[in-house]
Structure 1
Amino acid sequence: MTTLTKEIKKEEKKVPVRGMMDNVMEQFESAANQIKLHPNIKKILSITNNEIIVNFPVKMDNGDVEVFTGYRVQHNNALGPYKGGLRYHPTVDIDAARALAMWMTWKTSLAGLPYGGGKGGIKLDPSKYSQSELERITRRFTYALADNIGPEHDIPAPDVNTNSQTMAWMADTYMSTRPPAQRSANQHVVTGKPAGSGGLEGRDRATGYGVYLSIKFWAEKNAQVLTDKKFIVQGFGNVGYWAAYFLEQDGAKLVAVQDANGSIQNPKGIKVEDLYNYSQINEGSIVNFPQAQPVDNDKFFGLDCDICIPAALGNQITKDNASKIKAQLIAEGANGPTNVEGEKILLKRGITIIPDILCNSGGVVGSYFEWLQNRNGELWQLNEVMAKLDKKLKESFDKVYDYSRQEGIDMRTAAYCIAIQRIERAYVQRGIFP
């Protein structure tokens, strides 16, 4: 989306964030048991290292002052600096941040990056604030967090309802708090910045491209082609759009989309670029797109398709709708879109799930490239970035796919096992102070 205010609607349903923490802990327990994780390391990984809550006042356009609550949870840094997004959403709270931070630890470890996991954000609905108010909110939040983030300590990135503009404000604010001689050396305090302000060419599409690649790699492993495969996408923001864009380029057919405002379908196919252009002039909404028909939201996941891409928020596929899904493949573009009960139903039905920590890891891999680019004073071209993404994501996919087949387990458990074993090795080799 082009602005923050277009990325969220008042009608958006509140996500049961407590369920997210339950999900991540149950998934962790399953993998820990599978690999017989040492009890002491299990204790460490079951809790977060630091939890930061800040309350800060901001003056609104009308002169009134509002007080906002911001969060940053730092789960684990055994492998390197904390890494993870900041989201602006009414459902942001400490439990949501804990769950998302733990997922980031597994995601960065699985990708083989020198990072740990962190997550956070501000509890607010961005659609209620002007662009100038959002800038002041962001800068004040950054100032409040400044002693707890840093390019070698904790590196935020965009997430739900935040974007490259948000990161530019954060970087500028953080650098302004450093001594003059150190400012340029702190540009990589955040990633996901605009390309003209130290950002990476292609970072905007990295997450969605990674979702597409995961689907492509799965198809190749199973001797299938994407041509004429029908897919549906929940969420048509940055991740959903780019995943759909690349799938369409490979001959797949988008047949239905759902966003916070409603759902549409066209069994004959929806042109991705036409829908994107329509949404840009329709306040970010896909509703009433002339080349598709409306469909009830509760029927969306039951639509006929080969591939389902949940790319919105967490806990969208549950025991209430998992039995209705017709897709043979679920590619998780969002973090935690499938809860534990829903997943059990899908697996029992023989449906493959490419888990979030693998499927949407293109974003954090792109962030790593941007961090390296800033750190080393380099500028990478788009074709170079995309080639590096291809190579890195193929390595991760092959590891998870092969491990799942060797051990006879689902891909999520396989991904967790690989990620946790890497962290376990770090603790075994280094020991625990004192």
Structure 2
Amino acid sequence: MSEVKKIIRRGLNGKVQQGMMRNVMKQFNEAADFLGINSNVRKILSHSNNELVVRFPVRMDNGEVEVFTGYRVQHNNSLGPYKGGLRYHKTVDLDAARALAMWMTWKTSLAGLPYGGAKGGIQIDPSAYSPAELERITRRFTYALADNIGPDHDIPAPDMNTNDQTMAWMADTYMSMRPPAERSANQHVVTGKPSASGGLEGRDRATGYGVFLTIKLLLEKKGQDLKDKRFIVQGFGNVGYWAAVFLERMGARMVAVQDASKTLYDDSGISVEELHEFCLKNKSVINGFSGGSTLKDKDFFSVECDICIPAALGNQITKENAFEIKASLIAEGANGPTEDAAEKLLISRGTQIIPDILCNSGGVIASYYEWLQNRNGELWNMEEVMEKLERKISASFEKVYDLSTSEGISLRMAAYGIALNRIENAYVQRGIFP
């Protein structure tokens, strides 16, 4: 489409930005060095296949037109179609999309899925727009991307500030652009849809469940359980909420929670469901909730606890605040929440980190099941879905843990080792065209 500007391997105006991309490249290069990855494969994986920037006009409720900028980075598809979320946030840019797309490549590979990695979104504060405006923005974004996504090419999903409704609008728009005879066959162009529109039962809780399950599995390896464990959660969106739900059900208690509006603390425990109900009634923010006392935002990571779950934005745990962390276990619910220098400091202190590409992989695994469900014309109930999720995540965890233990390496290095080895094998076996 004329609205799509393809930028191959370089950023806007040729500038390569820093931030999360610097972090993911450090992780990749350290793992590639340790594993001795084929030099040619390493060159390929260091770059994105395609980087798209789209600008599109949308009429607002007041009749004025605004022009929005959207992104989609397709990192690698050696193992299958590109797969990854779309987020609506003011921090979305090409640098962030590059990093997140690369992490998706490692995540889908580690999980053993027939997918590659992609990511994108719109640079927008969705709270500033009405539901009707968000629908028009989403449909116009889908129209702009339509030649570059597809059920066997690039399959978007929900991410930060997008949800099942967003995916329903995207699917409907995309299917409406197909010939009538092909429309129903394109339902799986996106995943994370409402269950009534072809979505998967349990998709909403899948990522948070994966965070919970990997924590539970790691504690079991140490001869421990979750009863009376104290945990803190940064970000009380879909991932943070569901992780907290499952942890609380196992006897753990949430002693601190933080979002962009406030930080709350109560050593006796903050009720997960009461806070969730409050958020549903108050524009999804915790500010104003009466339970717990208010902490300064900078003091969140210093709260006494056993488990820390960063489930918000990337680069939240830095070398400046890592020394404050009291938790012995960090479970990365967000993508790239821990900077490389901070991780080295934490590991030297004996802190264990469940890496993002394992810890929050439940979402993309559930997306795979939804994709299969749509392709095969099947319907699975909640119990079936949760059983499939538990088996798949547990299998990935065991592989990572066993490699970490046998080689004396971090869980992240082990996860990268498994993920990169699978992709490397695909390239070595197939060769490079021509």
TM-score (norm 1): 0.96
Partner of 1:3: none
Cα shift at 1:298: 0.2
Does 288-297 or 28-37 show the bigger shift? 288-297
Q: Following the alignment from structure 2 to structure 1, what is the Cα–Cα distance between the partners of residues 411 and 287?
A: 34
Q: Following the alignment from structure 2 to structure 1, what is the Cα–Cα distance between the partners of residues 180 and 423?
A: 37
Partner of 2:9: none
Partner AA of 1:424 in structure 2: E
Is the contact between residue 111 and residue 396 of structure 2 (CA under 8 Å) also seen in structure 1?
yes
The DSSP-based 3-state class of the residue aligned with 1:173 is: helix
Is the contact between residue 53 and residue 72 of structure 1 (CA under 8 Å) also seen in structure 2?
yes
Cα shift at 1:413: 1.0
Partner of 1:155: 155
The DSSP-based 3-state class of the residue aligned with 1:57 is: strand
* 1:97 and 2:105 are equivalent in the alignment: no
Cα shift at 1:406: 1.2
Partner AA of 1:161 in structure 2: N
Task: State the Cα deviation string for residues 67-120 of structure 1 (Å, max 9, x = none).
Answer: 111110000000000000000111111111100000000000000000000000
Q: Following the alignment from structure 2 to structure 1, what is the Cα–Cα distance between the partners of residues 129 and 286?
A: 22
Q: Following the alignment from structure 1 to structure 2, what is the Cα–Cα distance between the partners of residues 378 and 227?
A: 38
Q: Following the alignment from structure 2 to structure 1, what is the Cα–Cα distance between the partners of residues 70 and 433?
A: 31
Is the contact between residue 208 and residue 360 of structure 2 (CA under 8 Å) also seen in structure 1?
yes
Q: Which has the higher contact order (CA 8 A, sep 6+)?
A: 1
Task: State the Cα deviation string for residues 315-369 of structure 1 (Å, max 9, x = none).
Answer: 1000111000000000000000111111111111110000000000000000000
Where in structure 2 are the equivalents of 1:23-34 lying within 5 Å?
23-34=23-34
Is the contact between residue 230 and residue 252 of structure 1 (CA under 8 Å) also seen in structure 2?
yes
Partner of 1:390: 390
Q: Following the alignment from structure 1 to structure 2, what is the Cα–Cα distance between the partners of residues 27 and 257?
A: 28
Partner of 1:291: 291
* 1:20 and 2:37 are equivalent in the alignment: no
* 1:305 and 2:294 are equivalent in the alignment: no
Partner AA of 1:248 in structure 2: E
Partner of 1:122: 122
Partner of 1:314: 314
Identity %: 71
Partner of 2:204: 204
Q: Following the alignment from structure 2 to structure 1, what is the Cα–Cα distance between the partners of residues 418 and 177?
A: 39
Is the contact between residue 288 and residue 294 of structure 1 (CA under 8 Å) also seen in structure 2?
no
Cα shift at 1:264: 0.3
Partner of 1:358: 358
Partner AA of 2:362 in structure 1: G
Q: Following the alignment from structure 1 to structure 2, what is the Cα–Cα distance between the partners of residues 410 and 404?
A: 6
Partner of 1:69: 69
Cα shift at 1:289: 1.9
Is the contact between residue 69 and residue 123 of structure 2 (CA under 8 Å) also seen in structure 1?
yes
Partner AA of 2:308 in structure 1: C
Q: Following the alignment from structure 2 to structure 1, what is the Cα–Cα distance between the partners of residues 94 and 271?
A: 39
Partner AA of 1:294 in structure 2: T
Q: Following the alignment from structure 1 to structure 2, what is the Cα–Cα distance between the partners of residues 143 and 280?
A: 31
Q: Following the alignment from structure 2 to structure 1, what is the Cα–Cα distance between the partners of residues 142 and 288?
A: 38
| RMSD over aligned Cα atoms | 0.7
Q: Following the alignment from structure 1 to structure 2, what is the Cα–Cα distance between the partners of residues 301 and 321?
A: 7
Q: Following the alignment from structure 1 to structure 2, what is the Cα–Cα distance between the partners of residues 54 and 308?
A: 37
Cα shift at 1:288: 3.0
Partner of 1:4: none
Task: State the Cα deviation string for residues 27-61 of structure 1 (Å, max 9, x = none).
Answer: 00011011100100000000000011111111111
Q: Following the alignment from structure 2 to structure 1, what is the Cα–Cα distance between the partners of residues 141 and 282?
A: 30
The DSSP-based 3-state class of the residue aligned with 1:61 is: coil
Is the contact between residue 265 and residue 295 of structure 2 (CA under 8 Å) also seen in structure 1?
yes
* 1:109 and 2:109 are equivalent in the alignment: yes
Task: State the Cα deviation string for residues 177-212 of structure 1 (Å, max 9, x = none).
Answer: 000000000000000000100000000000000000
Does 407-416 or 71-80 show the bigger shift? 407-416
Partner of 2:4: none
Partner of 2:13: none
Does 273-282 or 122-131 show the bigger shift? 273-282
Partner AA of 1:159 in structure 2: D
Cα shift at 1:401: 0.8
Cα shift at 1:408: 1.0
The DSSP-based 3-state class of the residue aligned with 1:88 is: strand
Q: Following the alignment from structure 1 to structure 2, what is the Cα–Cα distance between the partners of residues 64 and 272?
A: 41
When the two structures are aligned, how many residues end up with a matched partner? Answer: 418
Is the contact between residue 175 and residue 187 of structure 1 (CA under 8 Å) also seen in structure 2?
yes
* 1:420 and 2:420 are equivalent in the alignment: yes
The DSSP-based 3-state class of the residue aligned with 1:256 is: strand
Partner of 1:335: 335
Partner of 2:279: 279
Q: Following the alignment from structure 1 to structure 2, what is the Cα–Cα distance between the partners of residues 181 and 283?
A: 41
Q: Following the alignment from structure 1 to structure 2, what is the Cα–Cα distance between the partners of residues 320 and 254?
A: 24
Partner of 1:6: none
Partner AA of 1:119 in structure 2: K
The DSSP-based 3-state class of the residue aligned with 1:243 is: helix
Cα shift at 1:26: 0.4
TM-score (norm 2): 0.96
The DSSP-based 3-state class of the residue aligned with 1:156 is: strand
The DSSP-based 3-state class of the residue aligned with 1:369 is: helix
Cα shift at 1:282: 2.1
Is the contact between residue 248 and residue 272 of structure 2 (CA under 8 Å) also seen in structure 1?
yes
Partner of 2:44: 44
The DSSP-based 3-state class of the residue aligned with 1:380 is: coil
Partner of 1:235: 235
Q: Following the alignment from structure 2 to structure 1, what is the Cα–Cα distance between the partners of residues 180 and 288?
A: 52
**Unmatched 5+ residue regions in structure 1?**
1-16
Partner AA of 1:268 in structure 2: S
The DSSP-based 3-state class of the residue aligned with 1:18 is: coil
Task: State the Cα deviation string for residues 281-309 of structure 1 (Å, max 9, x = none).
Answer: 22212123222110110000000000000
Cα shift at 1:279: 1.5
Partner AA of 2:85 in structure 1: G
Is the contact between residue 19 and residue 95 of structure 2 (CA under 8 Å) also seen in structure 1?
no
Is the contact between residue 287 and residue 294 of structure 1 (CA under 8 Å) also seen in structure 2?
no
Is the contact between residue 97 and residue 119 of structure 2 (CA under 8 Å) also seen in structure 1?
yes
Partner of 2:370: 370
Q: Following the alignment from structure 1 to structure 2, what is the Cα–Cα distance between the partners of residues 284 and 331?
A: 23
Is the contact between residue 155 and residue 190 of structure 2 (CA under 8 Å) also seen in structure 1?
yes
Q: Following the alignment from structure 1 to structure 2, what is the Cα–Cα distance between the partners of residues 133 and 34?
A: 49
Q: Following the alignment from structure 1 to structure 2, what is the Cα–Cα distance between the partners of residues 274 and 151?
A: 39
Q: Following the alignment from structure 1 to structure 2, what is the Cα–Cα distance between the partners of residues 430 and 370?
A: 29
Q: Following the alignment from structure 1 to structure 2, what is the Cα–Cα distance between the partners of residues 285 and 112?
A: 36
Does 358-367 or 290-299 show the bigger shift? 290-299
Partner of 1:144: 144
Is the contact between residue 71 and residue 93 of structure 2 (CA under 8 Å) also seen in structure 1?
yes
